Amino acid sequence: MSHYRRLKIKGGFYFFTVVTYQRQPIFNNEAARVCLRQVWIDVRQRWPFDVIALCLLPDHLHCIWQLPEEDDNFSIRWSLIKRRFVQEYRRTGSCGLQPGVSGMSRNESGIWQRRFWEHNIKDRNDLQRHIDYIHMNPIKHGLVEKAEDWPWSTYKRYLSSGKYAGVYYAEMQQQLNSVIGEV
């Protein structure tokens, strides 16, 4: 059995990637997005966190949270979000894939990958890099040509607040295009 060590800092900023089981594009489905939104709201009421940035893609999501000053337990939040999402999503008549033998023995849903990836944000530059990564992710995956065209992202909120000025955005696009060209 693997024992994961996670850096937990009370009041910390964390970048997360959470992926669906076998990369199923369930978030192309409006019912799945509605379920996730409602579960997210419900969990935040009991276990608060601030959403700094978010992007929901067809088969995964990226986000940055800041936890309350006295709290470092992001794992309980993700556990509740994932579990309650499965319950609500199944109520819509939808279901995931059949998990493998290992997943079945662990009573897994076939909707989410077993774990999530987290990164503790170290400083302002690290935070900005991860916000940019989140907002440019739909472009990276070929879903849109411009970040503002992706509807399930906090990018427009950042743009309307002036956090992404025209020159800055053009530089980000140029960097992203150079990276995509190298792959």
Query: Which of 23, 35, 19 shows the shortest CA–CA distance to 91?
Result: 35
Lookup result for tokens 């959470």? 18
How far, in Å, are 32, 34, 124, 126 from residue 58 at the CA level? 10, 13, 29, 26
Instruction: Check residue 169 and give its pLDDT.
Output: 53
Determine the 3-state secondary structure of 87 from DSSP: helix
10, two tokens: 């009370």
Instruction: Check residue 160 and give its pLDDT.
Output: 84
pLDDT for residue 170 is more than 80: no
61-98 pLDDT per residue, tens = 999 999 999 999 999 999 999 999 999 998 886 655 44
Structural domain spans, the chain: 13-182
122-145 pLDDT per residue, tens = 988 899 999 999 999 999 999 999
pLDDT level of residue 183 (50, 70, 90 thresholds)? very low
Instruction: Check residue 100 and give its pLDDT.
Output: 46
43, two tokens: 């969990």
Instruction: Check residue 99 and give its pLDDT.
Output: 39
Lookup result for tokens 């996730």? 36
Query: Which of 69, 71, 73 shows the shortest CA–CA distance to 81?
Result: 73
Query: Which of 119, 133, 164 shows the shortest CA–CA distance to 53?
Result: 133
32-70 pLDDT per residue, tens = 999 999 999 999 999 999 999 999 999 999 999 999 999
- In total, the chain counts a number of residues equal to 183
| Residue range 13-182, CATH number | 3.30.70.1290
Cβ–Cβ contacts within 10 Å for residue 41, how many?
A: 9
